[in-house]
Structure 1
Amino acid sequence: MTKFLISFPANAMQVADEDMAAVGEASREVIRQAKAAGVYVFGGGLNSEVASVMVAADGACTSEAYPQTRELDGGFCVLELPSREAAIHWASRLAAACRCRQELREFYHDPES
């Protein structure tokens, strides 16, 4: 089984305020179904109200981020699935629920992690 990251940036979700409750419920229903199917690993949303910090090997922290991830936000989930086709299926279900396209990435398998 392979783990897949399904995610979207916050600005991809163009939903009217009055529709947000329905979108939230629809996306939670897909997650409930993934849990029932035994493929859910974890998920959530990145808290944009808390700034990221860069942590060095010596533990020193600075208020910065890698340039390519400065605007990393939005929602994500990790599912463990038997194939890329299965991952595409779940990503399409989340895209329909969230009303925005989802980015699909495959985790590299490390037998010790």
Structure 2
Amino acid sequence: MTKYLVSFPGAAMDLTPEEFRLAGIESREVIREAKAAGVYVFGGGIAEDVPSVMVSADGTATDDTYPQTAEFDGGFTVLEVATREEALEWARKIAAACRCAQELREFMYDPES
């Protein structure tokens, strides 16, 4: 089984308040379906009002971020499925429910986990 990240940036959900409400209802239904199918690992949204902290290799922590991820926000779901096609099907369901495109990425295999 392989784990996949399904995600989107916050700006992708350019929805009216009613569309946003419906997207919440429908996306929670897809997550319930994924849980029932046994493929849901975890998911959520990035807390945009909480600043990121950069922890360096020596353990120093600063209120900072990588420049490439300064605008890292939005939502994500991690799924564990048997095939890439199955991951694509779940990403399609999430995209339809959220009313915005989803990015699908595969986690590298770790033989120790």
In structure 2, the gaps of 5 or more residues are: none
1:67-106 paired onto structure 2 within 5 Å: 67-106=67-106
In structure 1, the gaps of 5 or more residues are: none
1:1-80 paired onto structure 2 within 5 Å: 1-80=1-80
Q: Which 4+ stretches in 1 moved above 6 angstroms?
A: none
1:14 Cα offset (Å)? 1.3
> TM-score w.r.t. structure 2 length?
0.96
C-alpha distance in 2 between matches for 1:79 and 1:69: 23
C-alpha distance in 2 between matches for 1:21 and 1:60: 41
> TM-score w.r.t. structure 1 length?
0.96
CA RMSD, 1 decimal? 0.8
Indicate the percent of aligned positions where both proteins have the same amino acid.
63
C-alpha distance in 2 between matches for 1:29 and 1:101: 18
Out of 33-42 and 64-73, give the one that drifted further: 64-73
- What is the identity, as a one-letter code, of the residue corresponding to 1:49? D
